[in-house]
Chain A
Amino acid sequence: MEYRLLDDTGDLGIEVKGEDFSKLFENLGNSIYDIMLKREDVFISKIERDTLKEDSLEDLLIKFSNMIIYKLECKRFVGKIVKADFKKSKKFFVVDYKIFGERFVPSRHFIKNVFKAATYHNFEMVEDEKYKKVKIYFDL
């Protein structure tokens, strides 16, 4: 998967890339799960799906990342595979997502890193012909 970890004194950042925005959202979701837990321990017995929209791409990427944290804390849901479909309307940036996973079982799902919030700290978004790239830092 196309991501790398970034150093920060307090917390942890990730740099993720994708060949288009849909792929970028998918890779972002999958990399958060990859850093958060051992994805091989997650079975697929449930699908979480929804649509998120924001008036900036930056806000949408942060909201999407925070949604994953919220799902673990409140819905006790962990994902194995994230699928995303990105659209841009006149006013909004929109992502439809599906997360394939299951209910979080503390004795079976080994949590490697606890994410508490996605932040705007040193947020960076770069686009070129080949890739869309984003850097997001997380409060741990």
Chain B
Amino acid sequence: MSYKEFLKRVDENKVVIPKGSFEGMRVDCEIFLNREIEKYLEEDSVKQLVNVSKLPGIVKKSLAMPDIHSGYGFPIGGVAAFDLKNGIISPGGVGYDINCGVRCIVTDLKRNDLKKCIKELLTKIFLEVPSGIGSEGSLRLKKNDLKRIVLKGAFWAVENGFGDDRDLESIESNGCLKGGDFECISEEAIERGISQQGTLGSGNHFLEIDYVSEIFDADIAKKFELFENQIVIMLHTGSRGFGHQICSDYVSLFQKDLRKKGIPLPDKQLVYSYFNSDLGRRYYKAMAGAANYAFCNREIIGYMIKKTILKFFKVSQNDLKIELLYDIAHNIAKIEEYEIDGKKGKLIVHRKGATRSFPKGHPELKGIFKETGQPVLIPGDMLSGGYILVGGERSVEETFSSTCHGAGRTLSRKEAVRFSKRVNVFDKIKESGVFVLSQSNRTIVEEIPQAYKNVDDVVKTVRDAKLSFPVAKLLPIGVIKG
């Protein structure tokens, strides 16, 4: 019998596999999914979600967002919270690209301002922000700089003149996860990380110039200073080779540890250690260091983009607004406080391809976001654009304050390449009017729109489930693929 056969629809936006359906399940599994996108649900990703429900110390439920698809250990789109005293931490619940995330920069440029110069401007940015395989940044970091980045995150960029201190309160966790520790990070990771600060990377990472095509919530849009036809920039990248190496190192260490203890695993990638164990703590500190590396990376790239645009238009920052709206992580494990059975307690919340979605009034939010809720940034495929949403109150009790992170793949990279042989992708891009640049045509082919779910359907599910609410829709005019 398949895993999917155990799914029960409980409402228009949610399906459940009750605890007890499979041996070893400690909690229910819940997937936020409307009927339109249910057809994309893969057997393997449901199996992965059930495997997560069996992990020690899991609290309330094993969750997945509507952009769920098969990952390593956890499904992508997976959310799970574990008790700090008796629960585990798992690199499979964070992912290889630790703190892969999205940054949204708003400007006071209008769509028409770029009509004639988008190609020229995007090419300038393409030349300034290194992308592609093992791309190296222009920053020449010393080991001590990296040590400080691991500790301080985006603050390092600000104190070294690569960012603005006003940005910090517009970054999740103010751009720094406490506990980053250089001593818990291998020499290989340090070597991979030292040359890659301020680089976009490859694969599904991108930099997009969009315009606001539709406003859904005029009040919040006004508070975010968003207006129709406004130019905004979306950036998607993470901790580069640094995070990958840290994940690889700890997956291997956890494997050895579990083997030594004779603990069997349903999936070799679903390794874990108790959060309170020495190995669990060491992973957390290394993971926090990689998360800080990623916050710093996006702050530096944001600074490069701003500098390039100002230079391109030959204006100063007093003449042209280019400001950070928000910066969020979608591959991370964080200590957060929740009320469970009437008692407040700290949990380690894993979000693997899921975005934090704090509602208005949340004590961790600052400034305007305390009134509006935290911005949630959801990119779609390279031609369909994405959304700016805000966190909804229901997410706190339903999903440990989490929502979706993107559209979610439906085709493998190999299938996408096969599909593009039937349809001329480059003609389609030309017809769309979106100017696309990449170090490799292969990346463009692998990232075709048909390889992803419709982001509108994904956002509709989280809106109807009241996990987060759309504020504005963005459409691309220029895209740099990594």
For residue B414, CB closer than 8 A to chain A, the reply is: yes
A89 to B76, CA, bound (A): 39
A10 with B256: CB separation less than 8 A: no
A59 to B247, CA, bound (A): 14
B413 with A140: CB separation less than 8 A: yes
| Residues in B whose Cβ lies below 8 Å from that of A113 | 442
Of B55-63, B65-73, B105-113, the stretch lying at the interface with chain A is B65-73
B192 with A10: CB separation less than 8 A: no
Given contacts A9-B42, A62-B252, A73-B134, contact A116 B244 (CB under 8 A): yes
Main secondary structure of the interface of A (DSSP, over half): mixed
Chain A nearest CB from B343 CB (Å) reads 37
A121 with B269: CB separation less than 8 A: yes
A: residues with CB less than 8 A from B are 5, 7-12, 55-56, 58-59, 62-63, 66, 70, 72-74, 76, 104, 106, 111-114, 116-121, 123, 137, 139-140
Given contacts A113-B442, A116-B241, A116-B244, contact A73 B412 (CB under 8 A): no
A59 with B255: CB separation less than 8 A: yes
B244 with A74: CB separation less than 8 A: no
A121 with B72: CB separation less than 8 A: yes
Chain A nearest CB from B245 CB (Å) reads 8
Q: Determine which residue in A10, A70, A72 has the highest number of CB atoms from chain B within 10 A of its CB, and name it.
A: A10
Chain A nearest CB from B202 CB (Å) reads 4
Q: Determine which residue in B192, B251, B414, B415 has the highest number of CB atoms from chain A within 10 A of its CB, and name it.
A: B414
Given contacts A9-B412, A123-B268, 4 further A-B contacts (CB under 8 A): A9-B411, A70-B245, A73-B241, A114-B132
A46 to B195, CA, bound (A): 23
**27 CB-based A-B contacts, threshold 8 Å:** A7-B412, A7-B414, A8-B70, A9-B70, A9-B410, A10-B409, A12-B412, A55-B256, A59-B252, A59-B256, A66-B248, A70-B245, A73-B192, A74-B192, A111-B440, A113-B442, A114-B133, A114-B203, A116-B97, A116-B203, A116-B244, A117-B244, A119-B72, A121-B72, A121-B269, A137-B72, A139-B96
Identity of the chain B residue whose Cβ is nearest the Cβ of A111 in the assembled complex: B133
For residue B188, CB closer than 8 A to chain A, the reply is: yes
Chain A nearest CB from B448 CB (Å) reads 14
B: residues with CB less than 8 A from A are 42, 44, 69-73, 76, 96-97, 132-134, 188, 191-192, 195, 202-203, 241, 244-245, 247-248, 251-252, 255-256, 259, 267-269, 271, 409-415, 440, 442
Contact among A62, A76, A140 for B203, CB-based, below 8 A? A140
| Residues in A whose Cβ lies below 8 Å from that of B409 | 9-10
A28 to B71, CA, bound (A): 23
Contact among A7, A56, A72, A119 for B134, CB-based, below 8 A? A72
A11 to B413, CA, bound (A): 6
Identity of the chain A residue whose Cβ is nearest the Cβ of B203 in the assembled complex: A140
Chain A nearest CB from B196 CB (Å) reads 8
Given contacts A73-B192, A119-B72, contact A8 B412 (CB under 8 A): yes
| Residues in A whose Cβ lies below 8 Å from that of B247 | 117
| Residues in A whose Cβ lies below 8 Å from that of B268 | 58, 120-121, 123
| Residues in A whose Cβ lies below 8 Å from that of B271 | 120
Chain A nearest CB from B367 CB (Å) reads 36
B255 with A120: CB separation less than 8 A: yes
A106 to B135, CA, bound (A): 10
Q: Determine which residue in B72, B251, B267 has the highest number of CB atoms from chain A within 10 A of its CB, and name it.
A: B72
